[in-house]
Amino acid sequence: MSRNCCDACLFPLNACICDAIRPLNHQQELIVMQRPSEVGHAKNSVRLMQLVLSNLKVFVGEQSADFAALQHYLNQCGKPVFLIYPSDDSKEIGQAAVPSNAVFILLDGTWRKAYKLLQLNPWLSQYRALHFDLASASNYTIRKSSRSDSLSTLEAAAMTLKQLDNNLDVTPLTDALAAMVNRRLAAMPAEVRQRYRKSTDTE
């Protein structure tokens, strides 16, 4: 049986976050490459990004052919393109000379799925990769990762925008994420919710 969802935010009614949504206008263009399996995920932070961000494009697929329209757009846009992905060759975003009109690509999914998406799309290697100097752990407590440098796609977007414009208020993003996490936790059975709390406290 399908769950009843809010017509506006598309989250389940018991986890509706409409009252926490505030628009964020930003100059930098963000592009999310999202695997099909993530689109309908109940804990999908990209949906929050679509509700909040003014300059965001989302492309869904897995193989290079699925992203033909994205590749064409990037080739024709005439803007410098950067990939937000930590690797041996990536550069810390705060130390990189990033033009104001740059386009940023983020890979959505768990660490393993994002890595697979990268492997299935070798054309991404033409773009310079950037990473963050993380000062704190991810606040996305309802999805776990074994890597200390893992962030939700929304958190990566917020950090990207903040690094490029320190005066930009990114709390519309972070507040929406906090609301989603808290309402998803509140909807869980008490024993499940406590397990998430304990795992977070020990990390």
Condensed to tens digits (0 to 9), the pLDDT of residues 10-45 reads 887 877 889 999 999 999 999 999 998 887 665 678
Tell me whether residue 20 is in a domain. Answer: no
Smallest CA-to-CA distance from 4 within 159, 200, 170, 187 is with 187
Tell me whether residue 64 is in a domain. Answer: yes
The predicted pLDDT at position 157 comes to 94
Which residues in the chain land under pLDDT 70?
A: 1-3, 40-43, 134-150, 186-203
Tell me whether residue 125 is in a domain. Answer: yes
Tell me whether residue 55 is in a domain. Answer: yes
The predicted pLDDT at position 9 comes to 84
Tell me whether residue 62 is in a domain. Answer: yes
Structural domains of the chain, count: 1
The predicted pLDDT at position 195 comes to 55
Tell me whether residue 13 is in a domain. Answer: no
**In which domain, by residue range, is 61 found?**
27-90+97-132+149-168
Tell me whether residue 58 is in a domain. Answer: yes
The predicted pLDDT at position 171 comes to 93
Per the CB < 8 A criterion, the answer to whether 156 and 84 are in contact is: yes
DSSP state at residue 143: S
Smallest CA-to-CA distance from 35 within 152, 137, 127, 116 is with 116
Measured from the Cβ of residue 188, the count of other Cβ atoms closer than 10 Å reads 13
Tell me whether residue 195 is in a domain. Answer: no
The predicted pLDDT at position 181 comes to 83
Strand positions, DSSP E, the chain = 29-34, 56-60, 81-84, 91-92, 103-108, 128-131
| Contacts for 164 with CB less than 8 Å, ≥ 6 apart | 28, 93, 98, 100
Query: What's the rounded Cα separation, in Å, for the pair 124 and 149?
Result: 21
Smallest CA-to-CA distance from 127 within 108, 158, 111, 103 is with 103
The predicted pLDDT at position 145 comes to 43
Which residue(s) pair with 106 in the sheet? 32, 84
Which amino acid, 18?
C
Q: How far is CA 43 from CA 31, 59, 98, 183, in A?
A: 19, 18, 31, 11
The predicted pLDDT at position 107 comes to 96
